[in-house]
A and B are shown apart, each in its own frame.
Chain A
Amino acid sequence: MAVISNGTTLMDAGAISIAVGSMTLIKTLTASNSATLSFVDGASGVILDNTYKTYIFKFHEIHPSSNDAEFTVNFRDGETAYDATKTTTAFRSYHFEGDDSGLGYQQSNDLAQSTAIQKIGQLQSANDNDSCGGGEMKLYNPSNTTYVKHFQSRYSHHYTNSSPGQIDNFISGYANVTAAVDGVQFKFDSGNISTGQIKLYGIGE
């Protein structure tokens, strides 16, 4: 049976015929003084394969357990270690409560063929209980075995309480591997993720 509304076929022959939602929540991880939050394909309901060609990680109210900690990401490419080789670029805009502001490239946060963690944020405060960070990271076609894997993040957060203010970080890069990326791990460069959520979505087609 077909369902037709206002002349438009909504469903027929066992299929929905019109555009429907294409952003699917895959997994939510909630930090509770967690050393890492890791999304691994096939584990705990996580999908990070060729089911989707674009994945989006959303960061909500990320708060560190240690002062001056920087939020990071890394990728695994076939082994268990999160150490994919990356080349990345970084810039940020900032405005502090003392009215200092600026825009510029952030060399300390870029990588050149490095397996190290990629900083996607800068100094965050653990002492300020109301401070946190939020944003998102897109990862393109991680299961592809022909091309490098591009990613783009934007992470805005309250800057460290020694110079309180807002900082808006833009990172882009690629895991310079042709092996599939099947795991993504987030952590602070020191201390734990005290609280916060990371949600993984898949974008259809």
Chain B
Amino acid sequence: MGLISNATTIFDAGVINGAGAISFIKKLTASNSATLTFINGSSNVVLDGTYKEYLFSFKNIHPAGNAADFGFVSSINGGTNFDQVNITSTCFVSYQTEGDNARGIEYSAGGDLAQGTGQQRLSDNQDTDADECSNGFLTLINPASTVFNKQFYTNISQNMDDPALYHGFHSGYFNTGSAINAIQFAFHSGNIASGDICLYGVG
């Protein structure tokens, strides 16, 4: 059923038209959580061809353990396996210490992958200092495509235990012809003490 008013389609085919270009889909909040996982079709998560672009926002991501790297893995079978998708990626960071004794912009080999199936790092060496965290966005382009590889890119700011600021930019592709239908976030060691991740679709 559709609704048309003054020749304008208000809604049709299960979609409200003109409701905004960025649509909130799902929020997951960490509470000493091992992982935060978004699976298409599960718990109202949409991660399919409904949108051609998805945004994950990270707010106040705080680790339970020291020297923890935040990141993600992906799945093409609804979360059954998270180690079957090759990623090739690039990473650079801009940084500055609170002591003003080190700064720069540089390539970060530790943040890239070359056909790797492990964690794509999004932050580096976070600590449990009470006021420290990471924030930012991950953009995922057309994960449902079965023609092209799937591009992603990030813009992440984090505290690092110098103390310092790291501003990370990651970009890569899921080198698969299958649809990506689940993304799982975690620290490479220890739990996610607190923070939340929201998923948005870009219309």
Contacts and interface: CB of A to CB of B under 8 A. Distances in A.
Helix, strand, loop or mixed for chain B's interface? strand
B13 A87 contact: no
Interface in A1-35: 3-8, 10, 16, 18-23
B20 A150 contact: no
Contact of B25 (A19, A21, A23, A170): A19
Interface in B87-133: 94-100, 103-105, 130-133
A152 interface: yes
Contacts, number: 147
B19 interface: yes
Nearest to A22: B24
Interface stretch (A60-68, A103-111, A122-130, A185-193): A103-111
Contacts of B23: 19-22
Interface in A107-163: 107, 110-113, 138, 140-141, 144, 146-148, 150-152
A74 interface: no
B136 A152 contact: yes
A170 B59 CA distance: 20
B160 to A, nearest CB: 11
B103 A89 contact: yes
Q: Is the interface of A mostly helix, strand, loop or mixed?
A: strand
A204 interface: yes
A178 B131 contact: yes
Nearest to A144: B60
Most interface-central of A3, A21, A172, A178 (chain B CB within 10 A): A172
Contacts of A7: 14
Nearest to A23: B22
Contacts of B21: 21, 23
Contacts of A111: 96
Interface string A28-54: 000000000000000000000000011
Nearest to B24: A22
B14 A5 contact: yes
Contact of B94 (A91, A174, A205): A91
A150 B135 contact: yes
B62 to A, nearest CB: 7
A18 B14 contact: yes
A176 interface: yes
A90 B94 contact: yes
B196 to A, nearest CB: 8
B159 interface: yes
B180 interface: no
B96 A19 contact: no
Contact of A22 (B98, B134, B155, B200): B200
A183 interface: no
A7 B19 CA distance: 19
Nearest to A90: B94
Interface string B149-169: 000000101110001111100
Contact of A104 (B12, B14, B99, B105): B105
6 contacts: A10-B16, A21-B22, A105-B104, A110-B103, A148-B133, A150-B135
Interface of B: 1-3, 11-16, 19-25, 27, 46, 57, 59-60, 62, 94-100, 103-105, 130-137, 155, 157-159, 163-167, 196, 198, 200-201
Task: Kindly list the 5 A-B residue pairs having the minimum CB-CB distance in the complex, ordered from nearest.
Answer: A21-B20, A8-B14, A112-B100, A19-B23, A172-B167
